[in-house]
Structure 1
Amino acid sequence: MDKIRKRIDAFVKLGNFLSQFSQEGIQKNDTVEFNDIFFDGFKHQLKLTEENNNWFTRENLLFACESWTKALTLSNIEKWIKDESLITDSNKVVAVVMAGNIPLVGFHDFLSVLISGHAVLAKLSTNDKHLLPFIAKYLEFCNDEFKGKITFTSEKLENFDAVIATGSNNTARYFEFYFKDKPNIIRKNRNSVAIITGNENEEDYEKLSEDVFRYFGLGCRSVSKLFIPKDYDFNQFFKGMYNKQDIINNAKYANNYDYNKAVYLMSEFDILENGFLMIKEDESYASPIASIFYEYYDNSDDLKIKLYEDRDKIQCVVAKDFLEQEISFGQTQHPNLWDYADGVNTLNFLSNL
């Protein structure tokens, strides 16, 4: 088996391993390789992760595992890499500075570096520091060529050939200065939007609630802004959101809801709310936790121009028969391997180092 095939095979095995951890529960499958060594340990890492970060609930952790299970199939990986010239042997080290806003958010970069044949030097967020090192150990058992190719550090990054860094707009300025002499991908803040035309049905709004509330809205693929037609009736929107009402039972979410509501009321902003979500008219894309912004549009052509002009601020556009590159309602947190963050082809960047 050639080296690239062995790398692919290791990630397919990882997908099989993660398939034991899904939203329906945790169920051991004795046919999964190296389960005796890793199954109980991964359960423990999930528990540690939940204790370390209250945003990372069991439900969201298992959702993340299930999402990667669906992505890491042989057919998906082969489709993803088919147009790229992967490197059989590489002596290059790629540093990856990972965010920590949602579980395993840095895994795609980690996967991309290793599948490309390079070594990865990963700087983890303190918010998400347990799962990936454990997954790395599993991969080393699946393919011993990964041994020595995976390093985690909490120190200053040194001795690397290229970098992929994800952070806020403020940290991106630091990254751009610090990494200016290396080939790099620097990602900044982005948010996702939903286009409401008035042709949506009840099911569309219920699916949209998943785009709004999954991971408490902390992901760049989470919808934080609505574009709505004039004279829009918000009752339809709130009705669709209602099936996520239990989110207010999460203490951190409830605290943010109370705090942001107080800020809005003291500032005398006009808001609409339903007990667990506030909506406010605002031209910004990034809304605080437990709130979503909206903006009216006059006609679809003007809105399409605006979306194009603001494309560097937008990760996903959720819509129904509005744009060619739209994402269906309820699908923002189900990206394919080839749905690159910020539209930058990571695999192509890595293959050309």
Structure 2
Amino acid sequence: MTPYNQRIGAFVELGKYLTDFCEKCYANDDSIDLEFKEVVARAEHENGWFTQENILYALREWGHLLTQENLEDWLLGYNLKSVESPKTIGIVMAGNIPLVGFHDFLCVILSGHKVLAKLSSNDKRLLPHLVKFLIDKDSTLEERITFVDGKMEGFDAVIATGSNNTGRYFEYYFGQKPHIIRKNRNSVAILTGKETHEELVALGEDIFRYYGLGCRNVSKIYIPAGYNFEPFFKAMYTYGDIIHQHKYANNYDYNKAVYLMSDFKILDNEFLILKEEEALSSPISVLFYSYYGSEENLHKELDALKDQIQCVVSNQYKDGHVGFGQTQKPRLNDYADGIDTMEFLLRL
């Protein structure tokens, strides 16, 4: 077996492992991997946003993606035999949602390069456990994967993900090396008022999954003049239990108090606040909205904002749009910020 096929095989086995673990967790199966269960529990304890539900959701989605067919289909268009001298790729990972840096990690390993990973303090348990599993399936990976706590040195290129503030630091520190630097992005949805109840419920998944902390979460909706909010709020009640998560509830109470004290006009259903606002990035528990006149003008507006937008959600089946309920189910070729990570790595 070639090293390339061996690496693919290790990730396929990881996909099976993740799927099996999630199934046993949901079923309270006594044969579950207790070590992994403890890792999930520690990740949840150390980061209040990482509930078991959201961690298992992320693990399950990766389990679905890491199949032989999916990996081969994704990699078909790349010349993966071209890397003769592996380079060390520094990956600075974010910690806003569970395993948010795993796709970068996957790309670096399958491109034939080496990983030098700096984990976020908010998500430092999950990936090391998965790496341990991968090395058990392919021992050659041990010399290709290194985690670093302090200053990251000895890298040939870097992939760094953070906020607009950390992005400036990344540009200063990593700017002399080949790099992909990602900053804040948000996702938006276009509503017409003709959506079905089921579509609006699915949109709630795009809004509430991971408490809205991901760049693929919908933080703003665009609605036509005269939009009737009643069907929207009726669909959102499906997610009403989110208010029982104390960190989310604290954000909701704080934002509601600020808006009311400032006499801002808001719409509120006791767990989600809607506020008319031109900005894209809304606080946790808040969804911004803007009215649009014509869809043609709206698309021009969104095109002008494309460097700030990760996903556009709609049921219009336009090129580049994502269907309702699909933002947190990216495919392997759905690259963050539209930058082909694998192509970047293979050109080094």
Q: Does the pair score TM above 0.5?
A: yes
Amino acid at match of 2:44: E
Structure 2 CA distance for aligned equivalents of residues 197 and 323 of structure 1: 14
User: In the alignment, what sits opposite 1:313?
Assistant: 308
Shift of 1:27: 6.2
- Higher mean displacement: 14-23 or 232-241: 14-23
Structure 1 residue matching 2:95: 3-state secondary structure: coil
Q: TM-score, normalised on structure 1? A: 0.95
Relative to structure 1, the CA distance from residue 321 to residue 119 in structure 2 (aligned partners, 3 Å threshold; closer, same or farther) is: same
Shift of 1:310: 0.4
**What CA deviation, in whole Å up to 9, does each residue of 1:51-85 have, x standing for no partner?**
00110001001101100001101111011111111
Shift of 1:21: 3.0
User: In the alignment, what sits opposite 1:12?
Assistant: 12
Shift of 1:352: 1.0
User: In the alignment, what sits opposite 1:76?
Assistant: 70
The one of 257, 266, 269 aligned to 1:274 = 269
Structure 2 CA distance for aligned equivalents of residues 29 and 297 of structure 1: 54
What are the residue-to-residue correspondences of 1:158-307 with 2, within 5 Å?
A: 158-307=153-302
- Higher mean displacement: 259-268 or 287-296: 259-268
Structure 2 CA distance for aligned equivalents of residues 57 and 21 of structure 1: 16
Shift of 1:323: 2.6
Structure 2 CA distance for aligned equivalents of residues 157 and 86 of structure 1: 27
Amino acid at match of 2:242: I
Relative to structure 1, the CA distance from residue 136 to residue 29 in structure 2 (aligned partners, 3 Å threshold; closer, same or farther) is: farther
What are the residue-to-residue correspondences of 1:20-99 with 2, within 5 Å?
A: 20-22=20-22, 25=26, 39-87=33-81, 89-99=84-94
Amino acid at match of 1:100: G
Aligned residues: 346
Shift of 1:346: 0.3
Structure 2 CA distance for aligned equivalents of residues 242 and 161 of structure 1: 49
Structure 2 CA distance for aligned equivalents of residues 335 and 286 of structure 1: 21
**What CA deviation, in whole Å up to 9, does each residue of 1:218-270 have, x standing for no partner?**
01000000000000011111111110000000010000000011111111110
Identity %: 53
Structure 2 CA distance for aligned equivalents of residues 326 and 222 of structure 1: 14
Would you say the 8 A contact 1:80–1:337 is kept in 2? yes
Structure 2 residue matching 1:148: 3-state secondary structure: helix
Structure 1 CA distance for aligned equivalents of residues 181 and 228 of structure 2: 40
Structure 2 residue matching 1:224: 3-state secondary structure: strand
Structure 2 CA distance for aligned equivalents of residues 66 and 119 of structure 1: 26
Relative to structure 1, the CA distance from residue 86 to residue 286 in structure 2 (aligned partners, 3 Å threshold; closer, same or farther) is: same
Structure 1 residue matching 2:289: 3-state secondary structure: strand
Would you say the 8 A contact 1:189–1:220 is kept in 2? yes
Shift of 1:29: 10
Q: TM-score, normalised on structure 2? A: 0.97
Shift of 1:216: 0.4
Structure 2 CA distance for aligned equivalents of residues 227 and 90 of structure 1: 48
Shift of 1:28: 6.1
Would you say the 8 A contact 1:20–1:26 is kept in 2? no
Structure 2 CA distance for aligned equivalents of residues 67 and 90 of structure 1: 32
Structure 1 CA distance for aligned equivalents of residues 109 and 84 of structure 2: 11
Q: How much is the aligned-residue C-alpha RMSD, in angstroms?
A: 1.5
Structure 2 CA distance for aligned equivalents of residues 29 and 320 of structure 1: 42
Structure 2 residue matching 1:157: 3-state secondary structure: coil
Structure 1 residue matching 2:143: 3-state secondary structure: coil
**What CA deviation, in whole Å up to 9, does each residue of 1:105-129 have, x standing for no partner?**
0100011100111110000000000
Shift of 1:322: 5.7
Shift of 1:26: 5.5
